[in-house]
Every structure is written in structure tokens, then in C-alpha cells.
Structure 1
């Protein structure tokens, strides 16, 4: 069959990439560009590389022979079968046939990359990267955890991984990682760890991503969804299981706390809009490439993970675990839909004696949009459910089967069910004026509202006896209060009152939730008179936390034995500097100035992105150009990422415009980094309008990768009628492709923002003024 395809530059299909490295024959003194070829075929680009029926249910064995230059190495899904020299310049490599798999999982690379054997040969696990990165040991951390994560999955699934596993760190790749069977590809910035340069916290990113992609070797590769409308069966499972794997391998990371902070919050944010979509929309609604690409969003990844965790909690881990093993074994090398999973879990439940109607319950969470808020009256014990929407004027008749774990000051946690619009439960009644707490440890995918008396009791408890409220719930109470206020279900002062206890809080999770929610206030009000008193209040609240870590910070050290404390130190310094705490601002300026004048960077890697940002925000052209020159000359991936973000922090509009223009030059910014640079400029109040004008002027170029993410971040601050009209005009005049749904979400969110700001600006200003007098 005659076929001709293109090698692209837009990171889809078969694409070209490059990196800069010294010439060995000149002792490495002369930098030259080295080129490589790689593939990224998910979801529908296999057809651009070879003729095929390019659908997930069209599984086959793939045999490939690659003709390539003699000084390069070819990798593919399977082991080499043979390798022969053709002439002085060319050779061919023929690979063993793959497992039966979907076309989007096919992959190959041709490069001059190297790998170190970190395991006994029989493990057949290697990580490939640029030769200088291998020699510098930048793959050492990834090497050290890949085997243990793989062992965890093999034990958990009770199915051995029988083929080789190559992981490769590419200079260019659209997604952070791609699970191609036996040849997993990563952006090098998220796989490499550089001692003395990378933040200690970057190890969590690496571990999570490896856990995610290796989970796919079973969920997605071995057992695949029938069609893209159920891609959450791949991505939701990989997201959830990766936390279990990393919790097992790196228990100090406290990944199950991070799960609530990241996945639950992300899912809630996206699913509170009427323009959201079900986890499993009808297949006939997901047909074009743009519609398929639109499914790779936070609903699929985060909501998918959260509802699976909720199901595991309701069934019990042993039933859920056994059901997964039944599912994988029964459908090995086949395709499935959610009902195949429910059947496997029902089989497991029948063996252990459970009573949950799994299909009926899960239909309410997978086949309809959104999630519920339950409102509990602790005097009567009555609880009501309704769909939670930021735009609460939208009518909804949706109902869910909700598992509610509830406790109080004197009672142990109990599981209650809410099936109907309204129920009455004795366990929801406050005995002797005690506080009632629902969704204990945040195992459920729903928000909780209470009568005002119970809110007051809970907040009093957090201020006076915070340790009696579970750590995750101290964070979730803040999150629920703020989001209920955004939906006009409680008053904004009630939400703001939930932050009062933070002045004495030293744990990370409550602060993390507070900062995430207060970002919305900053985005809505950092261009108004609310900003001054709000900034003053937050500065006073964070001072205690900043001082808690001050000895570490001033000496550019971190609490090395405690991962959560490191995260909290980073949060404290970031919030203290961003609110102008003099001790923090002076510390950042002094450390950066020392680097500039002594050419010695003594800033701890954990704190570099914050301190670089603060120094450039406070500084001028001299500081910005110093950072830009360091960015251009650095070969350290982690350092480049930290500097790239810092360059967007300046308040000088002409420098931000200069940076935006640089994103159009592939020699200055790789295509995969363009959207993150523009998004970071948009998060800077001085760059918000610049970024919006810029993406409209250059949409065809900047939207090639991560268009959905770009729209979300650039429009996140929109809160005026003028901005809404501009957004509507943009949606009607531009070819939005896979970003269409994201633009509709942005339009809805902007309407919500306009109404919310108009309704609450004055009361918010009064609250902050009162608190800071």
C-alpha cells in the first residue's frame, strides 16, 4: 500500500525535536543542535504515520522495521528482533511484534540518547535521555522509583508485566507523559531531577507521573475503553492508582492528603458549571478529533479519580481491589465500557457479602453532569440534596445516590445514604449543641452546607480545638464555605470567617485550601480598592506561619525530613512575599542581588521560583535581563523552568510585551512551553490584558498545544461586561477547534464572576476593613 506522511513540527504524529549539546571532538566546547524523531499518536494521529483503522477498539499486533542512521538508536514498543547495517550511513532495526493493542499506543523514537542499566538485565527497565543528562545522573531518581512502582502494580493487580519497559525524556512533547506500551514518553522537565537545582518537591511530580503512566500499562493498554467517550476508564484509574502507588513507595509524600488537595479541588472547580459534561457522555456526541481532544480534561482525570476513590470507600478496599483484579483478568487485551467494570465489582461484592447496588449508584455519578451539595439541618436532622452550581439560578432536577460519612464531637463516624431529594437521619441531629461534621476525611464527591448554628460551632472548634477536626476536613470546611459563598448559598462573611483560625494553623492542608480559594478573591479584586485591605489581612494571617519557618528560610534551608513541611514553607514564603511582608520581600531581594553580584546562587532549590519571582516583581530591567540571560544560557531543565516562570512576574508592561513576543520565536521558547508562559503572564494583573490581546492576535500559533488550558487561564480573571462581550465575539469569530468547550465554560464563568462581584464587592471590602483596623 503506497503511503506518504509528514514529519511535523507541532508535536503530533511523527515529529522532529532537537536539543543542544557540546561536540565531543572539541571537548564539548562547541554547542551544536542534535535532532531526534519521536511519535505522539493519541488520540487519532496513528493514521498520519501509517495506514490503519485508527480507533481504540481496533486492536492488532504491530510489527515495525525502522531504517535509520548508524549513529542513532531506534526504540519502539517491543524489543529488537535484529539490527543490521545496510551501508556506511544506514542501518535497519526490526522489532518483535507488539502485544494486541490499540493504534494510539504505537510508538517509536530515533535519537542519539543513552541509558544506564539501573536494574538487572532480566528486569528490562531503562530510562533514556540526552547523553549529558545521563552522565550527570539526572535520571537517578526516576530510575530509583520505577522498579518499586512497577512491583507495586504487579502485586496489586496480580498480573505480571512481561515485556521490556523503556522510558524516554524528550526535549519536546505535547502532554507531560504518554503511556505507549513499553515505550513511555515524557517531557524531560518532568522526568529529570537535578541535584542542587531541582526543588525537593519536584520528586513528587516525577513519582506521580511515572505512577500514572505505569498504571496505564494495565488500565488503558492491556484493557482499553471501547470508545473515547469513556476515556475516564483509562485516565481516572491511572490518576487514582498513581496516588496509591506513590503512597506505597514514598510514604513521606503523604499522597492521599495531596489527592484531596489536588484532585477533589480540581474536579469541583470544573464540574460546578452547567457547561460541564458527564464522565461518560453518549458516544455519538464524541466523534470528531476536536470532540475527542475535549475529553482530555479535568472532569476525565480528576472527577474520574475522585468517584473511583469514593466507590472504593463505600465498597471497602478489599472488595474494590478484588473487583479490579477480576476486571483486568477477564478483559485482558480487550475493550470495555463502565458496565463491564460494574459487573466485575458486583462479582467481587457477591463473594464478600456487600449490599451496594453498584450500577444504580454509579450511573448517577458517571452519566449525568455535576455533583450535589447536601444541606444538613442539625436541629431537625433533615438533609436536602441539589446540584451544586456557581450559577445557582440554573434549574436542575438531578439526583445522586450519596454516601455520607458523618461524625460529631462525641460520636464515631457512620455511613448514611441519601437517595432522594430530602431525607431525615438521627445521626444528622446535634446532640446537646455539639457540632456535626459530614464527609469525614473527604471520601465523598459532594459539598456540605449546614444551618448557621452548626457552622458557628464548627468554626469555633477550629479556632479553639482544631485538632478535634480531621486535618483534611479543616481544609475542606474552608473550601466548602468559600464555594458555597460563590454560589450564593452562604454569606461571604461566613466564608471569610473560616480563615480566622489560620493565624495559629501550622499544617499544610488547611493553608493549601485557603490559598486556593483566596486566589479567586485576588483574581476578582486585585484591580480594585478591595485589594489593599485584603492584602493587609492576609499578610497578618501568614506572618505566624512565615516566622515558623523563618530560620530555615533566612539560611536558605528547608525541613528536609518533612515533605509536608517543605510544601508549607514554600506556601508561606510565596504568600508572605506576594502580600508584601517586608521580611520576605527583603530576603528575596537580598538573595537575588547576591547572585547577580557574586555569580553564586545560594538560594535553596525549593525556594528559587518564589524568590526569583519576587525579585523580578520588585526590580527593573537589570534584574529581568539577568534572569533572561540565565534562562538562555542554562542547560538545566529545572532552572530554566523556574526562570521562565519568574520572567512573567515583572510589573513592567513593556517587558511583559517583550516576553510575549518571544513566545513566537521557536529559538527562544519551545512550542510546548508557549501556553504556560502566556498563562503565567495572564495571572499577573499587569499582564492580564496583554495576554488576552496577544492570544487573539496570534491564535493560530499559540493554540497548537494546550488550547483549553490557555483559554482557562487567560480568561480566569474576567469579571466585567466588556470582557464578556469580547469573549463572546472571540467565540463567534475564531476557529476554536478543541478549545470550543473551554470557551463556553469561560463565558459561563465570566457571567458568574460579574454577578458575584456586583453582589459582594461592598460586603467583602467592609469585612477586610473591619478585620484590619
Structure 2
């Protein structure tokens, strides 16, 4: 990597003067900056301040200083284009950024030391002042703590006094990252993939990605979420580029032939992790009305994407989503910011980031090309946008005090997106589907003893690794599910009123979950004074309960549901239970772990009752054998009296109760018998997802053949139901039916239904011969099945198309399809490609490996691969990779290898994932040993 260049100490001294009076000195800064730029010379990479290995007093910053405002100057020195000159061996790119910051803060407790956070920065020239008297506060040498605290310690020679205001100036230098963290470099090819390999067509940009603890990589700061401050930001960037930030542009100046300056307006008070800026040559697309009054909404993307009108769908829905939230929350989007920019970045991990006023997305989350992108891709885009815009209130406006309560951000954003998507795209009809999806995702992880509470104690979430581990399915999916249950308990009217009160009281501040309970009490006007007592077992304990109802005697009791039946637990919850055919609106509360009798749990002879109607509660339900039999008979004879969500949930409960040895495995398998005549998506999705566990456990055994034969028979009805659409490469208008059509093709082809495999191979062959008739909605599943049925020729054709397509949706479908081949050496080649960022972008490494890991032909290859290249792979979502790669582990040998991996490798944020994988493997070993013979017998009898 070429060496960077940075500003001289003379310019740093000038910055000190400028920062004291930014407005008055800005013109002087411009003149001096022009003088200094001409004299910059390359230097070695910046060195860090002297370090000490002594641990800091605590991992958290001391509470004695409270930031009020940051004034920040940053200059990224990168070039947007590589210029290779004759007789010059290295191109002109530089990866350095330089700048300075002044933080104004209040002293709330007398101290003689300033602690703040700084990571991978060379920090110099500290200057501490009393902001009222302008008196300098003398200090000793700075100390950089060499541990996860990333503390920058500035010992002072005299005390800062409580009640007084001070400022701290610092120069800093750092290196632009290539690992999608902090301030990082991204690249794209101007003109699209057809110009791949042409250095003249390659373009670069920089962007920030700071959640949760990477603001400290960009500038020294008080990098904790509750320490909110205003930001006054100036970016120095190369001529011909545009700088975007959290706020509107206040001032723009051309400095000289090479540099220009963009200064932004002051932001509202916000957390450091929301600080954001980009510098690029992107083009803008202004969103037309309707948009909120006095809010400019724009979308930025590669010039060729804007030209192809790929930003238009996102533009058409963004304003409506913002206004929907304004109405729902009775609170306007920040008029202080006065703008919302959304930018489609070629590189970003995760999929999107909610930075206030400048939301960043992976391209697939924002770009849609009519006629090329799947219709279902619209749903992905509107869902991601709805989630990120919900964060403008939940997270940005009101922020959790500490990362242990991140569910107040992510759970709310996930839950509220249900309603926004339903409002903007009502024909999608996604609320029930999203609710079921989050319920099942949370159920899966939370059934392990190694799970974690939704809101763990603060002391359990201290290091960066512990904080990063909180961004998981418990936080997102369980958080949303618990909020849905809370809304059902108190009623939608009270819930929405409480949310409005919560947002108004804590606007521009930080909150804890107890503050939400307080607003529920106020909104309910005394009806729900015990809501904290009832809800906190759901948020402060791991797991969830299973209730068992005996309908012959009207008895119900609860226990902690765990896959590992040998685990002991005395946990219990306050459980709201709604039952059919009872029509009362108020739930029956199960208030202890004792056995309780209630007439509502009694069934008439020959009749059934159904608990957890529409799955509003976060718990599983087991019944006495007679009630199970009545329910299964109803499903086979006439399923419609059972609500659609519960048809799916009966399958999910039965299979998971069988995994926990609470019911016989044959009962679970019997819940799938009615599917031969079922065409709705939710029951089929539930069955396929649960049978996937059987495939994972048995696809290397003699059970595999009979299981495939059974599913081939069961799916024929569903496949034939859509065959007229599929054979003509068409899709039904109904959104849910589009999902059912895809699941029909996937199950039929993957289980060897001949007419399905022939259809997929024929359509793919036509494409290889020059004509792609495959409907965009069906491309992902047909590409995969055709590559699976084919060989080298089909795989290499798909790889060539992956490299040359410029459509993000098509690229994603092909990237997934490439993992479907059954040819092991091709899978090995694909795995090797993930190590080359020119072939597979870093942000896609984890998901690509996960796709390959789902292929039974790649089991041993992937496990060996991640161990050989863990340092690189773990830069992405190492936790998700571990989960996917170990899903099939069900032998003692695999358990021992996994335990050795846990011992020998630096797991970082994948630590909990590995612990859960070990526990799950132990469960798998026992389950296979106890159930294999019964499962084989059942499938052989039911073919």
C-alpha cells in the first residue's frame, strides 16, 4: 500500500487557532491550507502515542465529563482514480486521513484526568482550555491504553472543577481502512462490469461505518452512546468530489486546483456512532413530493445506476415512509437536519446503517432495476428502508443508554417496519409473515442454555466484542416479538400512546427499558401498574416457556423450553394465554410455574382447543395427546377453521417439542401430512424450515432417500398448482403466492421431482444459448437448481454472468446459485474465490461461505476452509459463519473438533456463537441417536 502524506506541524498550529473561533477564522484556514498542501511530502505510516499495558480502572469512560459539541476538520487524502505515470512504479493512491477536533465538555465531577476513546490514530498537540476564561490547563504526556478500552488518557497538572466548561483540542492522523470499518475505502467500475480490469474505469470513494465502537477510529471522542453532543464538521476533499454528512451544507469553498472544502450545519445532539460522511463522485436523485415539509430527500448512487433509473423505486417510497412514521409517532423527522440523504455503497457491512441524515446501504438494499430485478426485491428494499428510517426515531432521536439495551433500537425498528411496509405496499401483505419469521428466528436461538437475555446486566456488556455480540437475532427478532406481545397485552391504542410519550420525553436523550414501562403505565391510566413485573422476566431472563395444556381436565403449566433436555432450569414467566374457540378479548394469565386449572382450557368431547391464537405470545404450546389428535384431524379434513398463522405454528411447535423430547418425533412428522393439499405459504415455510433440521441430521445417512421420496410426493400438489405459471415463466399477482411458487420449485427440484429438474435445466440451457426467459422472481431458485443439476459448463456460465452483470439483484441471485453445485472441486474453487476481494467483495465473504455451507456436498470443505482462513473470514460476520458451518454437526468427532476450535482460535465476537454451536452439537448427537430409527421407519411407511 502506498505511503500516505500528512499535514505539517505548522498547519496543525494554524488549526489550533482556527478551532478556537471557527466562523471568524474559516477564510484564514483556507489560505493557510492552500499554502500547506503544496508542500506535503510522503512520510511513513503514523505511529501511535506511547502505550501502557496497565489496565484502565474500568472499561467504561468515567462519568465526570459530559461532551457538548465537537468541532471536527477531516481531510481524506485518497484519490478517486488511480493515475499511473510513466517510469513510476507505484500509482498515486494514498490511504491517509488527517485532521483535528475540538470537543467542548462540562465537568460534572472534579477530576485531574481526561479519558476519551481513540483507536489506531496518531494523536498529538493536546490543548485543554477553560472555555469561559480561555485559560490553558497544563497537562502531562498522553497515554494510549493498549487494551479493548481504547482509552486515551490525558493527565492534567491541575484539577478540572465541577460545574465549569472546558475544551480539548487534538490533532490526529489515521489510515483509511480496507476492512469496512471506521473510515474505509470502497471501489466500483465506472460503466459497469464490462470495464472490469480497466484501471482507467476504476473509481474510489470513502465512507464511514462506525457502529458500535468505531467512531474512535476516525477522531478522538467520548465514544459511548449516551454521551451525545452536537457536531460541527468540515471536510477537505479533492476537487470534483462531493462530501455528504449528517447535516445540510453550510458553506462550500474551492481552496485551490486540487482541494475544496465542505462545511456542514450543526447537527442535533446525537451519539458518536451516528456520525457519518462520504466523499465520492456519486450522482444524486432528488425525491419528489410527497415528502415531509422542509425536509430534502435525496438518493445517491453510482452515475450509471442513476442513469439506469435504479434509484427510482426507493425514491418513490422514502417520502411516504417518513410521513407514515411522523403520523404514527406524532413527531416530525428532525427539522434541525432538514434533509435525509440515502446512499447506495458498493461496499458496506452490515446491509445498512441508520446514520442520522445520511443513511448508508449496500447497493442491493436501495437499487431496483425494472424488468431485471425480482418483484420480491422490492419487498427487500422497502423493508430495509423502513427499518433504517424507523431508527431515525428509535436510536437516533432516542438512544439506549448503553449497549445492553440495544433492543430498544433494533427491536423497535424491526417491529415498526412491519407497519410501514404494510402502509406503503399494502398488496405485499407482509405483517403476519414478518411476525412469524421473527418469532421463529428468535425461538431457534433462544432455545439454547447459552442464549442471552434481551437486556442483560450492563456489566456483562463491556468490551467491543461483547457489544458486537449483542447485534444478533435475540436483539432484533426477539425484541420485535416481545414488543408485539406487549402491544397485544395492553392494546394497540395504549401501546401507541405510550410510544409517543416515550419519544417525546426522551428526544435527544437516552433511555432504558424501565422508561418504556413507565410510559405504558401512564398511557394505560393505572390499568397496567404491574407491567414491569410482568414484562421483565421476558427481557432479563434467557429463553422462553412452553406451556402444556391438558384439555381433558382443564390444566395448564409452564416450563423453560430448552433443546437440551438435560439442562436444569427453574425460570418462569408471566404468560398471557388466548385460546380458541373462546372469543374473549382478555388473555388468561399464567402467573407462576404451578399447575393451574381453568375452565377455558377444557374441551368438549371430540373437540379441540387452540392456544396462543395468531401467535401473539412468545411461547410454545404442548397439548395432551387427545387434543393433538383432534387438531391434526382438523388440519387434514378442513384446515381453514385454524388461523393461518397457527397452522404454521402447530408444525413449528410440534417439531421443536420433538427435538426437546417433549413429544414423539412421529407426532411432528404427522403435522406435515395435510400439506399435500395446502397452498398457503406460511404452513409450507414452517414445514420446510423444520424438515431442514432432518436433512441436516440425516442427509449423510440411509434416511435421506425415503425422506426425499416423501417430500417429492407431498409437494406435487403445490408444484402442479403453480405449474401453468412456472412452465410459462410467469408469477401470480398475489405476493404471498409468489413465495409459495418459489417454495414449490425449491422443494420439488431439490427432492428430485423430474419435471421440476427438467424445467429448471431447460430454461437455464436456453439462457446459455442466448435467451433468458426466466422471470426475475424465479431466477434465484431456478439458477440454483439448474447449477445443482449441471456441471462445470453451467457453473462457469453462471460465474461469467456474475462477473459481468451490473444489476445488484441479478448479481446476488447468481452469487447464491454458484454455491448450489454438487461438484466438490467447483465448490473448492468458489471457496478460494472468497479470499480474493476482486472476485468476492469483503462484505459478501460471510454470506457466500454460508451459502456454500448449506450444500451437503461441501460439509468437510467448508469446515476445513474456515479454520485455515479464520483471521480473514472473521472480519465479516464470523458468528453467522460458525452457525451455518456447524449446523450439520452430529457426531462425537465433530464435537471434539469444534471444542478444539474454541480452544485454539481467537473467536472475538463469534465467542457466543461457538458456545451455542457446541451446545447444539451435543443436542444433535443425542437426538440422532434416539430418533434415527423411528424417523426412518416413519418415512418408509408414509411414502
TM-score range, shorter chain: over 0.9
Partner residue of 2:327?
155
- Determine if the alignment matches structure 1 residue 668 to structure 2 residue 668: no
Q: Matches of residues 161-172 of structure 1 in structure 2 within 5 Å?
A: 161=333, 162=335, 163-172=338-347
1:40-85 Cα deviation digits (max 9, x unpaired): 0000110110110100011000111001112111000000001010
- Indicate whether 1:267 and 2:442 are aligned: yes
Q: Compute the displacement of 1:699 (Å).
A: 0.4
Specify which of 718, 732, 756 is matched with residue 584 of structure 1.
Answer: 756
Aligned 1:20-169 pairs, distance under 5 A: 20-22=189-191, 32-120=201-289, 122-161=294-333, 162=335, 163-169=338-344
Give the deviation of 1:413 after TM superposition: 6.2
Write out aligned runs for 1:118-267 (5 A).
118-120=287-289, 122-161=294-333, 162=335, 163-267=338-442
Residues of 1 paired with 2:175 and 2:224: CA distance? 21
CA contact (8 A) 1:76 1:108 kept: yes
Partner residue of 2:654? 481
Q: Is the 8 A contact 1:315 1:356 kept in 2?
A: no
Q: Are residue 571 (structure 1) and residue 778 (structure 2) matched? A: no
Q: Secondary structure at the match of 1:84?
A: strand
Are the counterparts in 1 of residues 412 and 483 from structure 2 also a CA contact under 8 Å?
yes
Partner residue in 1 for 2:42 = none
8 Å Cα contact 1:554-1:587 kept in structure 2: yes
**TM-superposed deviation, 1:355:** 3.9
Q: 1:413 touches 1:440 (CA, 8 Å); kept in 2?
A: no
| Contact 2:575–2:591 (CA under 8 A) maintained in structure 1 | yes
- Tell me which residue corresponds to 1:693: 864
The aligned counterpart of 2:505 is 330
| Contact 1:226–1:337 (Cα < 8 Å) also in 2 | yes
- Using a 3 Å threshold, how does the CA distance of structure 1 residues 53 and 395 change in structure 2: closer, same or farther? same
Q: Are 2:521 and 2:528, in contact at CA under 8 Å, matched by a contact in 1? A: no
Aligned to 2:591: 419
Alignment RMSD: 1.4
Larger radius of gyration: 2
1:603 alignment counterpart:
774
CA distance in 1, matches of 2:643, 2:363: 38
Measured after TM superposition, the shift of residue 677 of structure 1 is 1.2
Q: Does the 8 A contact of 2:711 with 2:751 survive in 1?
A: yes
Within a 5 Å distance, the mapping from 1:433-444 to structure 2 comes to 433-444=606-617
For residues 413 and 222 of structure 1, what CA distance do their matches in structure 2 show?
Answer: 35
| Residues 458, 31 of structure 1: alpha-carbon distance in 2 compared, 3 angstrom cutoff | farther
**Counterpart in 2 of 1:364?**
537
Contact 2:517–2:531 (8 Å) recurs in 1: yes
CA distance in 1, matches of 2:863, 2:613: 41
Aligned with 2:477 (options 302, 305, 312): 302
Structure 2 runs not aligned, ≥5 long: 1-169
Q: 1:289 aligns with which of 446, 464, 479?
A: 464
Given candidates 683, 705, 709, the residue that maps to 1:536 is: 709
Indicate how the Cα distance of structure 1 residues 589 and 31 shifts in structure 2: closer, same or farther if over 3 A, else same: farther
**Whole-angstrom CA distance in 1 between matches of 2:876 and 2:852:** 17
Tell me which residue corresponds to 2:604: 431
Q: Residue 789 of structure 2 corresponds to which residue in structure 1?
A: 618
Change beyond 3 A, Cα 1:414–1:464 = farther
Find the aligned partners of 1:373 and 1:714 in 2 and give their Cα distance.
Answer: 29
Residue 618 of structure 1 and its aligned partner are, at CA, apart by 1.2
Corresponding residue SS for 1:770: helix
| Residue deviations 1:23-51 (CA, integer Å, cap 9, x gap) | 9xx9x999611100000000011011011
Shift of 1:118: 2.2
Separation in structure 2 between the aligned mates of residue 261 and residue 515 of structure 1, nearest angstrom:
14
> How far apart, in 2, do the equivalents of 1:739 and 1:400 lie?
29
SS state at 1:686 partner: helix
- CA change 1:174–1:149 in 2 (3 A) is same
- Local SS of the residue matching 1:67: strand
The runs of 4+ residues in structure 1 deviating greater than 3 Å are: 28-31, 120-123, 410-414
Q: Quick one: higher RCO (CA 8 Å, sep 6+), 1 or 2? A: 1
User: Is the alpha carbon distance of 1:31 and 1:650 closer, same or farther for their aligned partners in structure 2, counting shifts above 3 Å?
Assistant: farther
Aligned-pair CA distance for 1:88: 1.3
CA contact (8 A) 1:406 1:413 kept: no
Once the two structures are TM-superposed, the CA of residue 260 in structure 1 deviates from its matched residue by: 2.8
The question of whether the paired residues in 2 share the 8 Å contact of 1:649 and 1:684 is answered with yes
* Structure 2 counterpart of 1:522: 695
1:765 corresponding residue in structure 2:
936
- What is the rounded CA distance, in whole Å, between the counterparts of 1:404 and 1:502 in structure 2? 27
Residues of 2 paired with 1:378 and 1:650: CA distance?
49
User: In the alignment, is the contact (CA less than 8 A) between 2:287 and 2:319 conserved in 1?
Assistant: no
Asked if 1:546 corresponds to 2:715, the answer is: no
Aligned residues: 764
Q: Secondary structure at the match of 1:687?
A: helix
Deviates more, 1:476-485 or 1:134-143: 134-143
Q: From 729, 748, 772, give the equivalent of 1:556.
A: 729
2:834–2:840 Cα contact (<8 Å) kept = yes
State the alpha-carbon separation in 1 of the partners of residues 321 and 528 from structure 2: 33
Q: 3-state SS of the aligned residue for 2:453?
A: coil
Normalised to the residue count of structure 2, the TM-score between the two structures is: 0.80
Q: CA offset at residue 287 of structure 1? A: 0.5
Q: Does the 8 A contact of 2:407 with 2:479 survive in 1?
A: yes
Instruction: Out of 395-404 and 253-262, give the one that drifted further.
Output: 253-262
Distance across 2 between alignment mates of 1:128 and 1:258:
31
Give SS of 1:314's match. helix
Which of 442, 449, 460 matches 2:622?
449
Equivalent position of 2:915 in the other structure: 744
CA distance in 1, matches of 2:883, 2:612: 29
Counterpart in the other structure of 2:111: none
Q: What is the distance in 1 between the residues matched to 2:379 and 2:689?
A: 19
Instruction: Give the strand-richer structure, 1 or 2.
Output: 2
